[in-house]
Amino acid sequence: MNTQQIMTTGEEFFLHTYNRFPVVLDHGEGVRLFDTDGKSYLDFFAGIAVSALGYGHPAYTKALQEQAEKLIHVSNLFYNEPAVKAAEKLCRLSGMEKVFFCNSGTEAIEGVMKTALKYAYTRDGRTGHEIIAMKHSFHGRSLGALSVTGNDHYQEPFRPLISGIRFADYNDLESVKALINENTCAIILEPVQGEGGIFEATEEFMTGIRALCDEKDILMICDEIQCGMGRTGYMFACEKYGVKPDVMAVAKALGGGLPIGAFLTNEKAAALVPGDHGSTYGGNPFACAAACAVMDAFEKENLAENAAKVGAYMYEKLEALKEKYGVITAHRGIGLIQGLEFSVPVSDIINRALKAGLIIISAEGNVIRFVPPLIVTEADIDEMISILAEAIEG
């Protein structure tokens, strides 16, 4: 099929849950993607912060080829070596102690919610517990994950959702304290809100949440699905604050493009037992081989350090754009997760950038989000800035 036929056929058969760009992507190399017409795009999107290693990474590709020739799936009724290796690596990198593999970030959030509820049930032998989440958060679109997503726009058509969820103001510790009661079992937050507009937690907020959870014997849950895996310049964003959660959700960059998610717990929070939770495909050897290759690349290529270094350079360049163009009203972020807020519709800028060969995406609040592969260079930043400036000027 040619490009137009692919798009037309897709529109005929896909359920229309996405407004897709009129581009058919075909292959990638490094930080560039190519469409079926051969046009090149500089990628500052990374499949929504997924493709940390970029495209065509030799060691990653080799690991997938080798595993595909051996074994794709066996189920969790048996052990497989890639899953065991991935579990060991992920626990070591995160400082957590137990891991459950699933297929996505949304599934990881479902798991952390069940973990919190089971922990509280085991602790006091009753049900009816509550979870405190944050306004303007985003944790996924399943009914459970949507229930802790603090955005009426996403929730409204699907109510009633799971009960017992209360929403506090992000970076307002007093608003959290006001919601805690005898039924509270967990507090869930993103150290950096991605979809919510690129808002970073303050140190006072993170350390305060940790202290509250310790005092009240409730679980601190960090959603590191987008901001984790090196993107902030730290392997996990909570490390910046010297805070270790009881439960952590990860996904996106963990598989480098293969569908895999996970939630991790410390020993205290490891309340789930056989029969409490499961996943047919979670932890399959193919996805776990991908995760192992990603984590090996992080260590061998110092990708978190690159995110910190190049991210600081990107911050400087985006800050200069903010000073130059009055339509940019705010600049936020850390490492390679940053955002520019505009007073004009960002959709027009994003579309003009796409035509010029730059892929960028939006976030809540009329924000352009910058989440490139973690292998990005300062030269790539310069090219992005040049194209973006032209797109802003129209």
Domain coordinates in residue numbering, the chain:
3-56+302-393, 71-300
Q: Which of 89, 199, 223, 240 is catalytic?
A: 223
Nearest Cα to 271, choosing from 373, 134, 121, 388? 121
Give residue-wise pLDDT tens across range 249-281.
Answer: 999 999 999 999 999 999 999 999 999 999 999
**In this predicted structure, what is the pLDDT of residue 18?**
95
**In this predicted structure, what is the pLDDT of residue 229?**
98
Whether 138 is catalytic:
yes
Its pTM surpasses 0.85: yes
Q: Which of 205, 252, 317, 370 is catalytic?
A: 252
Whether 223 is catalytic:
yes
> How does strand 130-134 pair with strand 165-168?
parallel
Matching residue, tokens 């679980």: 219
CATH 3.65.10.10 assigned to domain 3-56+302-393? The reply is no
Nearest Cα to 98, choosing from 78, 119, 77? 119
Question: In the chain, which residue ranges form alpha helices assigned H by DSSP?
Answer: 3-13, 46-49, 58-68, 81-94, 105-124, 143-147, 152-155, 173-177, 203-216, 285-301, 303-324, 346-355, 378-393
Whole-number Å distance between alpha carbons of 266 and 373: 30
Nearest Cα to 231, choosing from 206, 212, 250, 216? 250
**In this predicted structure, what is the pLDDT of residue 341?**
98
Task: Say if CB 332 and CB 296 are below 8 A apart.
Answer: no
- The DSSP secondary-structure symbol of 279 reads -
Strand order in the sheet with 98-102: 98-102, 261-265, 247-250, 219-223, 184-189, 130-134, 165-168
Q: pLDDT tens track of the chain, all 394 residues?
A: 999 999 999 999 999 999 999 999 999 999 999 999 999 999 999 999 999 999 999 999 999 999 999 999 999 999 999 999 999 999 999 999 999 999 999 999 999 999 999 999 999 999 999 999 999 999 999 999 999 999 999 999 999 999 999 999 999 999 999 999 999 999 999 999 999 999 999 999 999 999 999 999 999 999 999 999 999 999 999 999 999 999 999 999 999 999 999 999 999 999 999 999 999 999 999 999 999 999 999 999 999 999 999 999 999 999 999 999 999 999 999 999 999 999 999 999 999 999 999 999 999 999 999 999 999 999 999 999 999 999 999 8
**How many CB atoms are closer than 10 A to CB 179?**
14
Residue type for 93, please? L
**In this predicted structure, what is the pLDDT of residue 383?**
98
Residue partners of 59: CB distance under 8 A and separation at least 6: 293, 296, 297
Q: Which of 44, 101, 138, 236 is catalytic?
A: 138
Whether 252 is catalytic:
yes
Whole-number Å distance between alpha carbons of 167 and 141: 17
Residue partners of 126: CB distance under 8 A and separation at least 6: none
Cis amide linkage into residue 160, ω under 30° from 0: yes
**In this predicted structure, what is the pLDDT of residue 164?**
97
Task: Say if CB 200 and CB 335 are below 8 A apart.
Answer: no
- Copy the structure tokens of residue 193: 């809100």
CATH 3.40.50.1260 assigned to domain 71-300? The reply is no
